[in-house]
Amino acid sequence: MAIALLAGCGGRQHVETPAPTQPLPTAGLAAQQVSVLPLTLLAAEDSLHWQAKFADRRAALAQADSVIGTLLTARAPEVTWVLPEALRKAARRAPGIAPDPDQMGTALLRAPNIEIVPDPLRGELRTLVALAANGGRYALVPAALVYRRAGGQAVGRPVVAPPLPAARPPDRPPATAELTIVMVDVRTGRLGFRTTARGDGDDPWSALTGAVKSLTPGLP
Query: HEC states along the chain?
Result: CCCEEECCCCCCEEEEEECCCCCCCHHHHCCCEEEECCCCCEEECHHHCCCCCCCCHHHHHHHHHHHHHHHHHHHCCCCEEECHHHHHHHHHHCCCCCCCHHHCCHHHHHCCCCCECCCCHHHHHHHHHHHHCCCCCEEEEEEEEEEEECCCCCCEEEEEECCCCCCCCCCCCCEEEEEEEEEEECCCCEEEEEEEEEEEECCHHHHHHHHHHCCCCCCC
When pLDDT is cut at 50, 70 and 90, the band that residue 171 belongs to is low
pLDDT recorded at residue 17? 76
Average pLDDT, the chain: 86
pLDDT recorded at residue 16? 63
> Which of the pair, 132 or 16, is modelled with greater confidence?
132
Residue 152 has pLDDT above 60, yes or no: no
pLDDT digits (tens, 9 = 90+) for 40-79: 999 999 999 999 999 999 999 999 999 999 999 999 999 9
User: Percentage of the chain with pLDDT > 90?
Assistant: 78
Residue 39 has pLDDT above 50, yes or no: yes
pLDDT digits (tens, 9 = 90+) for 97-119: 999 999 999 999 999 999 999 99
Residue 170 has pLDDT above 80, yes or no: no
* pTM recorded for the entire structure: 0.83
When pLDDT is cut at 50, 70 and 90, the band that residue 15 belongs to is very low
What average pLDDT does the segment 188-206 reach? 96
What average pLDDT does the segment 174-189 reach? 96
pLDDT digits (tens, 9 = 90+) for 153-169: 544 334 334 444 444 45
pLDDT recorded at residue 111? 96
Residue 12 has pLDDT above 50, yes or no: no
Q: Which domains does the chain have, with CATH numbers?
A: 25-152+169-213 (3.40.50)
